[in-house]
Structure 1
Amino acid sequence: MNFNFLSPVSDLVLAHNELLSPHALGRKLKIHSAQQGIPDLEGVAIAIIGVLENRNDINYIGEEFQLNEIRKSFYSLFPGSWNTLIADLGDINRGETVEDTYFALKESISILVGKKIIPVVIGGSQDLTYANYRAYDTLIPMVNIVNVDAQFNLGDSTKPIKNNSFVGKIILDEPYNLFNYATIGYQTYFNSQEEKDLMDSLYFESYRLGEISSDITLAEPVLRDANIVSIDLNAVKGSELSLHQRYSPNGLDGKEICAIARYAGISNKVSSFGIYEYKPSKDDEMTSMLMAQMIWYFVEGVNFRVTDDDFSDENSYQKFITLVDDEELIFYKSNKTGRWWIEIPFLAEVNNKLKRHTLLPCMHQDYLDACNNKVPERWYKAFQKNCV
Structure 2
Amino acid sequence: MIDFSHLQDFLRPVSKTQINDDEPYEHLQIGSSIDVYEEDNIPDLDAADIVLLGAGETRGNGLPNGRTDAPDVVRREFYRLFHWHQDVRLADAGNLLSGRSLNDAYAAYKSVVTELIDAGKTVIILGGSHDLTYAQYQAYAMKKYIIEVTVADALIDLQETEVRSQNFLLNMFMEQPNYIRHYNHIGFQSYFVQPRMLETLDKLRFDCYRLGKVRENIEEIEPVLRNTDLFSVDINMIKHTDAPASSLSPNGFSGEEACALSRYAGMSSQLSTYGIYGYNPDKDRDNLTAKQIAQMLWYFMDGRSVKNKEAQLIHRESFLEFHIAFTDIDTIFLKSKKTGRWWMQLPDKNFVPCAYSDYLLASNNEIPERWLRSQERL
CA gap of 1:309–1:149, structure 2 versus 1, over 3 A, is farther
CA gap of 1:238–1:28, structure 2 versus 1, over 3 A, is same
Match of 1:66 in 2: 69
The residue type equivalent to 2:69 in the other structure is Q
Report the Cα offset of residue 329 of structure 1: 3.6
Match of 1:246 in 2: 247
Match of 1:290 in 2: 292
Cα deviation digits, residues 256-309 of structure 1 (max 9, x gap): 101111111111111111100111126351111111111111112112214646
Match of 1:76 in 2: 80
Map 1:1-388 → 2, pairs under 5 A: 1=3, 2-3=6-7, 4-10=9-15, 13-14=18-19, 16=21, 18-36=23-41, 38-57=42-61, 60=63, 62-67=65-70, 68-137=72-141, 141-156=145-160, 162-242=164-244, 244-281=245-282, 283-306=285-308, 308=310, 310-346=312-348, 357-386=349-378
Query: Is contact 1:161–1:169 with CA below 8 Å preserved after alignment?
Result: no
- The RMSD of aligned alpha carbons is 2.1
The residue type equivalent to 2:247 in the other structure is R
Cα deviation digits, residues 46-103 of structure 1 (max 9, x gap): 1111112111125x47543113221111111111142222111111122211111111
Question: What CA distance in whole angstroms lies between the structure 2 residues aligned with 1:62 and 1:25?
Answer: 32
Query: Is contact 1:245–1:280 with CA below 8 Å preserved after alignment?
Result: no
Question: What CA distance in whole angstroms lies between the structure 2 residues aligned with 1:271 and 1:63?
Answer: 27
CA gap of 1:340–1:97, structure 2 versus 1, over 3 A, is same
The two structures have a TM-score, normalised by structure 1, of 0.89
The residue type equivalent to 1:64 in the other structure is R
Report the Cα offset of residue 313 of structure 1: 3.3
Q: Could you say what secondary structure the match of 1:240 adopts?
A: coil
CA gap of 1:307–1:85, structure 2 versus 1, over 3 A, is closer
Cα deviation digits, residues 193-238 of structure 1 (max 9, x gap): 1111012111111222112222221111111111111111000001
Query: Is contact 1:144–1:180 with CA below 8 Å preserved after alignment?
Result: yes
Query: Is contact 1:45–1:85 with CA below 8 Å preserved after alignment?
Result: yes
Question: What CA distance in whole angstroms lies between the structure 2 residues aligned with 1:206 and 1:296?
Answer: 27
The residue type equivalent to 1:250 in the other structure is N
Cα deviation digits, residues 305-324 of structure 1 (max 9, x gap): 14646333332323333333
Question: What CA distance in whole angstroms lies between the structure 2 residues aligned with 1:61 and 1:335?
Answer: 53
Q: Could you say what secondary structure the match of 1:241 adopts?
A: coil
Question: What CA distance in whole angstroms lies between the structure 2 residues aligned with 1:307 and 1:161?
Answer: 43
Question: What CA distance in whole angstroms lies between the structure 1 residues aligned with 2:31 and 2:173?
Answer: 39
Question: What CA distance in whole angstroms lies between the structure 2 residues aligned with 1:26 and 1:11?
Answer: 8
Question: What CA distance in whole angstroms lies between the structure 2 residues aligned with 1:272 and 1:217?
Answer: 21
Could you tell which deviates more after superposition, 119-128 or 308-317? 308-317
Q: Could you say what secondary structure the match of 2:307 adopts?
A: coil
The residue type equivalent to 2:253 in the other structure is L
The residue type equivalent to 1:128 in the other structure is L
The residue type equivalent to 2:214 in the other structure is I
Question: What CA distance in whole angstroms lies between the structure 2 residues aligned with 1:121 and 1:320?
Answer: 39
Query: Is contact 2:306–2:339 with CA below 8 Å preserved after alignment?
Result: no
Question: What CA distance in whole angstroms lies between the structure 1 residues aligned with 2:85 and 2:67?
Answer: 37
Could you tell which deviates more after superposition, 72-81 or 280-289? 280-289
Cα deviation digits, residues 96-136 of structure 1 (max 9, x gap): 11111111111111111111111100111111111111211
The residue type equivalent to 1:30 in the other structure is D
Match of 1:352 in 2: none
Query: Is contact 2:344–2:352 with CA below 8 Å preserved after alignment?
Result: yes
Identity of aligned residues (%): 33
Q: Could you say what secondary structure the match of 2:377 adopts?
A: helix
Question: What CA distance in whole angstroms lies between the structure 2 residues aligned with 1:8 and 1:314?
Answer: 46
Paired residue total: 371
Could you tell which deviates more after superposition, 61-70 or 169-178? 61-70
Query: Is contact 2:259–2:295 with CA below 8 Å preserved after alignment?
Result: yes
Could you tell which deviates more after superposition, 161-170 or 180-189? 161-170
Query: Is contact 1:268–1:307 with CA below 8 Å preserved after alignment?
Result: no
The two structures have a TM-score, normalised by structure 2, of 0.91
Query: Is contact 1:209–1:252 with CA below 8 Å preserved after alignment?
Result: yes
Question: What CA distance in whole angstroms lies between the structure 2 residues aligned with 1:6 and 1:53?
Answer: 13
